[in-house]
Amino acid sequence: MRHMIVLSALVPMLLGACSRDDDTNAAGFKPPINILRTDLIAGFDRRFDRLDRNRNGTVELSEVTPERLARTRRLDTDNDGKITRDEYKSAQLAHFDRTDANHDGTLTTPERDAAKLLNR
């Protein structure tokens, strides 16, 4: 019985030590994330629809936040002031293909990090 009392007092202390919120063991750690080209394609419509706030089938520059305006303008390949679904898909696939260094259809964390260094 005495062991049960001691054990019941120790368990909360041990659990508390295991669930620290200060990230001391994970300083700077980013888990690797792989993005498949097929997953990118599957999510096009959902992402485009989120950008098309007025639901008219195109993304007008007035729908874009000021922080994303310059990047969004580059998607407008015919310079008509709006991004069609096809312009959006083409730009996303081209970016994926440029970043996928070994062209295996999977974008890895190291490939994305390398592309960020090149775009600085």
pLDDT at 49 (0 to 100): 94
Instruction: Please report whether residue 99 resides in a domain.
Output: yes
In this prediction the pTM is 0.67
Per-residue CA distances from 15 to 11, 51, 103, 116 (Å): 6, 43, 45, 39
Pick the residue with more confidence: 120 or 4?
A: 120
* 108 lies in some domain: yes
φ, ψ of residue 97 to 5 degrees: the values are -65, -35
Domain boundaries, position 46: 33-118
Separation CA 35–CA 99 (nearest Å): 11
**100 vs 12, which has greater pLDDT?**
100
Q: Residue 80: which CATH number?
A: 1.10.238.10
* Res. 76: pLDDT tops 50: yes
8 A C-beta contact, residue 75 and residue 85: no
Whether 22 is in a domain gets the answer no
pLDDT band at 95 (very low <50, low <70, confident <90, very high): very high
What's residue 7's pLDDT?
45
